[in-house]
Structure formats: C-alpha cells, structure tokens
Amino acid sequence: MAEVYLNSRLAEHFTEEQLLDWAWTVAGDIHRQVQGRCTLRTVIGGRAYFLKRHLGVGWGEILKNFLVGKKAVLGAENEYRACLHLAQYAIPAPRVAAFAVERGSLARRRSLVLCEELAGFDSLETLTNAWAVEPPSPLAKRRLVVAVGRFVRQLHGIGLAHRDLYICHLLIDRRKWAAGEVELAVLDLHRARLQTPISPFWRKRDLAALLFSTLHLNLPRFSWLRFVRIYTGRPLREVFQKDGDLWRSVEGRAKALRKKTTRRRHGHGLQPPVTLVCGGEAFHIRRLFRWLPGRRLTAATGWRGREVVLKLFLGRGGQRHCAREGRGARRLQASGAPTPRLLAELAAPEVDGGALLFEYLPDSRPIASVGGADAAAEAALAVRALAQLHERGLTHGDAHLDNFIFSRGEVYIVDGDGVAPLRPATERAGLQALAAFLAEFPPYADGRTSDLLACYEQARGWLADPSRIARVQRWLAVARRRRIRRYLPKTERNCTEFVLRNDGRHRCLSKRNWAWAEQIAQSGGSLSQALQGALAAAKVIKDGNSASVFRLELAGEPVVVKRYRSKGPSHRLRRWFKPRPRIAWRNGQVLNLLQIPTAEPLALIERRRGPFTAECHLVMRDLGALDLAAETRTFGWRPDRLEQIANLLQQLAAAGLVHGDTKATNFLIHNDRVHLIDLDGLRVGHNWDADIRRFLDNFDGVLRLDAEAKFVEAGLLDVEG
C-alpha cells in the first residue's frame, strides 16, 4: 500500500496488511452509496465507527475536472488530511482511526478512511426540520446563527475550505443545545481543500452553499446580516463598503443553486413533507399531486390559514405557461363550468417561473375510467361539464381523465392551460372534441359511447340524431390512434410517468413509481450494476443464445427479467434497426395505458457499446407460470375464460392493434384473469383475422369448436369463417 495509518486500538483487531481486505468485506448499515463511494456504520470492539470506501473515480472524471481547471477528488486522502488538520486546532470533527490507500492507477485505486462516530450529535438539518412543528424561540435562533458564524470563520481562518458546506454537514451537540449552549462539529470532508489563506473563490462557494441550505427556513433578513457581522468580525457598514461584491455574489450564487435544484430535482427526490419558497412565501407541501421534474409541480399546501392547491411552473417558459394557465382558469370560471376557484397568482423569481393558488377540493380524485355504476355516473357528469364548456364556445385541448376531478358528488374541470376557444364552433367540432375525450377511456368502455353521446346531446339541448353515433365512433378510433402516437415518445424520456438515466455506457428507463428503482436511485447506486448483482441469485426460466429469462424478487416484489444479448456484429446491427427490447417496452406501456391486461414493464436497462446495445434487460411484473395452453390441456375451457379472451381480442381491435403471435402460451393466467405477453410483434394494423386464426390453430376438436362459437357470438368471426 502507498500509505496506511492504524491507531493502537484497532491494531488489536487486524494488521495494516489486512486493513483493505477487511474494509471491503465488513458488514454495516449503509448510510450513503454513490458510484465509486460508500459510507457505512460499523461496530468494532463495542465502539461505533463510520467507514468511507472509495473505489476510484475513473479517467473520465479526472479528464473532466482537468478540462475545467479543477483537481479531481481521487479518494479518501482529502478527508484523512482534513480531519488531522482540524484535530491540530481542536475543532470538533470525526477522529481518524484508520486510513489506507493502495498503489496503482490514480483512476482505479482503492482507499478508505475510518472515523470514530460523533456520539450525541445531530445535523443542523435535522434540528431545523423540526422547527416547522415546534418553532424555537428568537433567542435560540440568534444563539445558533452566532455560533455558526463563529464556527465557519474558524474553519476558514485555519485554511480549510469545506467545498460542501451545507447545514446537513454541520452537527450540534444535543445535550448542550438542550441546556442552552451551542457546540458545533463538521463532517463529510472528502472534498475539503487546505489552503492558506483561502481564496475568495472557495470562500464564496462555501458561504453560498451554507446560505442556500437555509433558504427553505425562511429566516428573516437580519439573521443573515447577523451571520455576516459575526463571520467577518467587522461592522456591516465597513463590510459592504469594502467587500460588497463578494457578499452580493454569495447571495446570487445561493439563489442560482436554489433555481437549479428546484428545476432538476427528480420526483423521487421530492417527498412530502417539504418546504418550498415561492414569491417570497414559504409553502409546506403536505401532499404531492403531480411533479414533472424541471417543469411543473402541483401539490396541496397551506396559505393564509386555509388549504389550497399550489401549481408551480418552473424553468424556461415557466412564466409563459403560468400566464396561459391563469387565462384558461379565468375562462373556465367565466363560462360557469364547474372548476376550482383561482385564488391568487404569484411571481416566482426563485425558479424563473410563476405560481397559481386554487381552491382545495376535499376528497378529490380523478374520475374513474372503468368500473360499475359509479364510473358510468362520473363519466356522464364529466361529459355534461364538457358540453357546458362547448356551449360557451370553449374547448379543452388536453381533456384526459386526470383533468376531470370528482369531489363532493360533482365533477370539476381543471388545468386551464388547455382551455381555448372552440373553432369553428360547429356541431362537428364539438363531437370531435367529445370523441377525443372518450378516447381517454380504455377500449372495453366503448360500450357506453351511445349513452354518453345522449348525455352530451341533452346538455347541449340538441335533438337526438341516430346518425351521430357512427360519426363519433369513427372519430373515436382516430383519436385513440392519435393518443397512442402521442404517448409513445413519452415512454422513452423523462416525464411524469417515466425516468430516463443515461450515463453514456448505460441507458436506464424505469417507471417513476417503481419502488426498487427509487431505492437504488436514492442511494446513488447504478440500476444496471444492482440488477446484475440480483441476477446472480435469480432462478433461470429460459437460457437461450440471444435471450434468457429469470425470475426473482426486487424490493420484495416478484419480477421476471428478460435478458437480450447480441450474438455478434451482424446481430447487433440488426438489433439496431429493429430493437426488440425497446419495441416490447413501448408496446407493454401502450397496453398498460389502454388497461389491456399484460405483464407491466417496469424497467428497460441497456448496456451500450458506442451507438449499439451490447446487452439489454427488460424487467416486468411476474404473472406466474400458468399459461392458457397448460390450463386447457388440464382442465379444458374454464368458466368465463373464452369470454375474457374474446374481450381481450376485441379491445386490441378497438385500439387498432395486431398482436402478431397469438399462440396459447402467450396468454398467461394471473388472478384468474387472462394477460397478453410477448409483445415484440405488436403493431398498429387491421389484420385482426390473422390473430384470431393463429389463436384457433392452438386447439382442435371440441376446444376449437367452442372457441369458434364464442368468437362468432362476439362478432370476431362471421358464421362462414
């Protein structure tokens, strides 16, 4: 090893030569794990320690830092030397118990630092988060601000720039705080830089990070001025006369960090309860309705003693979208259509956007898409609300089910961004808008189209016309195909439903609400590496040359993983033109959108080799191993099974989709319901007869005759066929 340190207490447990091997095999509670670095808590000889392991950063990270004029953090050396430096000045910080770095490549060498636990300390982030429930006294706040100012001045005075100085990395002694005293400590020093004196650049970075991490607390302005006075040790007039540019740049960088963080935080990183600052007011988010990272947030919060819905527009175009939403909301209110009342419009310079506050609807939820009488009644109310909007010469350009909210026995229209004049204001335009709304329901709800058309006619005051149903059904089919085409690009990018992570070597698509992917992302790990590790202990269902299938559990949920491999350059080139895994991913999401039973795809994880895919994993929910072929061989046709299959094929036809390989083994039985799998060949088309013939070819004798009779009854086959 290039360098090693081991204190006398730990020397009783292992030697210097054993230190690295021990560090990479020891068990403990993992507190943080990111690519190339892991921090865990372990106990040795009855004493608690924190172990930080570094695997190296790679040449790419070193080159990236070199090109921007920075020195890359290569391992644990920074933390080791920073902790020793702080110990010389008796500043509370983790005490180093062991350190080691091995020889070898700068990009790949392993290193570690083991520090004693700071017992009895809490982070300032934990302390201040509790203020929302139990605010401290003004004296306690003042005492803390003064202590932080002195502590940071002391750090910078001894030539240490932390480079990650957020309040979560400052600790406070719980016992002394309860007694009215303040003792602080610092940790997480792996980026720390020793420099005497500290340059204005690094001083600004530390102070801006500290200010940024306190903005959500909505502290009064004089608290920040008190910190500046304590940190500098000079009167404020003198500070701002001589160093005004520095402190203005500190505040500017802190606000820029807040904008950047708000725009780029992923959905899994925004978990209520959380506090957002908007328009100079602090909003405590209690319930999140929608979070489109970097673009839009809708949540329940409190405002001036009442519960409201906050709709926040972020980033580029945020102000424009906010203004358009406000205009649409006012149009909705003026039309008399049921809609939540717009209470206030706020500028949000913190996020380069704007915000709207709406009346909160208790026990609200989107209208039911399928179900019994309740769903039919809610759909009828939504159609009447839409007809009322059309009667006033307006339409909703984004009339999906989430924009029709059921509350207190009434359906309300929301999302004024899509509200615009109905042009031309003709019967045809109104019916086409109605068909676009009906296309949001799954295909097997098409049976109530005529009833909903009657509700629309009644709300518009029209006389019933039997010819309208044929036109609406034709436009409904067109609108559904348009909806599918619009949805497909969303399945391969960041949006409300999906998360895309791409580091050049790995391209990972996953459902945003999938628990396993969320856990891995929160720990900073790689989905690809985590899945490879899980597959090592998985059960192999099928082991082929180009595709293998595994069954396992991830986060306690049973899943099936289909692994696609390229057999050679020519096979890789063919997969580039026709990527079967991506086709199956997209088709699975389309069937899930249309609520056609299938094995829901949860993730698509690709390992790239230049522009080509070397290996790909498609993760799906596990529906068990019982397929239709095995069931009919054993039991014949089970009650209602043919009815389910006929309904499933009717739904595909209504959506304008052709499966292409309807063999019996591609119909799985799960929870006594038929699910369609193997979606590589699913496509838009009209050759539904081929699907039916391929299905019937699975059977002979009585089984085939029974299936044919059911399909004739369902209108899928004519009598001659």
Active site residues: 164
Owner of token pair 């039309």:
335
Interatomic CA distance for residues 551 and 559, integer angstroms: 6
Angle between helices 641-654 and 702-713 (to 10 degrees): 50
Sign of the alpha-carbon dihedral angle for 252, 254, 256, 258: negative
Structure-block tokens of residue 108:
């790949």
Q: Is the bond into 558 cis (omega within 30 degrees of 0)?
A: no
Interatomic CA distance for residues 152 and 161, integer angstroms: 9
φ/ψ of residue 535, rounded to 5: -70, -20
Write down the H helix ranges in 169-232. Answer: 174-178, 200-212, 221-232
φ/ψ of residue 520, rounded to 5: -65, -45
**C-beta of residue 531 within 8 angstroms of C-beta of residue 619:** yes
Neighbours of 66 (CB within 10 A): 11
Interatomic CA distance for residues 249 and 410, integer angstroms: 52
Q: Is residue 688 left, alpha or beta, with left meaning phi > 0 and alpha meaning psi from -120 to 50?
A: alpha
Going by C-alpha positions, the residue among 554, 575, 578, 577 that lies closest to residue 565 is 575
Structure-block tokens of residue 37:
């670095």
The one-letter amino acid at 251: E
Interatomic CA distance for residues 512 and 533, integer angstroms: 22
The one-letter amino acid at 676: L
CA contacts within 13 A on the Cβ side of 259: 18
Please classify residue 145 by burial: count the beta carbons closer than 10 Å to its beta carbon, then call 0-12 exposed, 13-18 middle and 19+ buried.
buried
Going by C-alpha positions, the residue among 241, 236, 160, 251 that lies closest to residue 204 is 251
Interatomic CA distance for residues 71 and 549, integer angstroms: 45
Going by C-alpha positions, the residue among 211, 158, 162 that lies closest to residue 188 is 162
Interatomic CA distance for residues 522 and 510, integer angstroms: 14
Interatomic CA distance for residues 422 and 424, integer angstroms: 6
**C-beta of residue 479 within 8 angstroms of C-beta of residue 439:** yes
**C-beta of residue 164 within 8 angstroms of C-beta of residue 209:** yes
Report helix, strand and coil shares of the chain as percent, to nearest 5.
45, 25, 30
Please classify residue 491 by burial: count the beta carbons closer than 10 Å to its beta carbon, then call 0-12 exposed, 13-18 middle and 19+ buried.
buried
Structure-block tokens of residue 468:
């309208």
Longest dimension (CA), the chain: 99
Using CA atoms in the order 506, 510, 516, 520, what is the torsion angle rounded to 10 degrees? 40
**C-beta of residue 667 within 8 angstroms of C-beta of residue 675:** yes
